Amino acid sequence: MEGTAYELRFLTRHLLGTEAATAQIAKDGKAFLFNDLSTVSRVESEIFSRGTYTGSRDGFARYGLRFDEPIGSRVTKSGTTSALNYGELKLRANGLYHIVPRTGPSKAGS
């Protein structure tokens, strides 16, 4: 797997306490948020070195890795949170990619 550049426009959407994360929760009723920026960096590095290909969906090749500890949280509009310990790298055909915390490999439409 090789990516050429991180899609920075997605970064703040997945960081707790940012305006973009708050907007994502308001729009979709939920957001998948990393613990912090250093966790994003660590997850990115680990997926590039040890991640496995999980398929292509919605225009992205997807790679993932399960972690032993929570790397983030799923936060809902009602304030409910649940721990996430799976990192997913979504890679476009043009080499742009971003990382998302999840409960497991995403399925079509999720």
* Long-range Cβ contact pairs of 49-53 (< 8 A, separation 24 or more): 51/1, 51/87, 51/89, 53/1
pLDDT tens, residue by residue, 62-105: 999 999 999 999 999 999 999 999 999 999 999 999 999 999 98
Phi-psi region of 31 (alpha: psi -120 to 50; beta: other; left: phi over 0): beta
Report the predicted TM-score, pTM, of the whole model to 2 decimal places. Answer: 0.88
Q: Could you tell me the pLDDT band of residue 4, with boundaries at 50, 70 and 90? A: confident
**Cα separation of 45 and 40, whole Å?**
9
* Percent of residues in the chain assigned helix, strand, coil, to nearest 5: 25, 40, 35
* Distant-in-sequence, close-in-space partners of 29: CB < 8 Å, separation ≥ 6: 76, 77
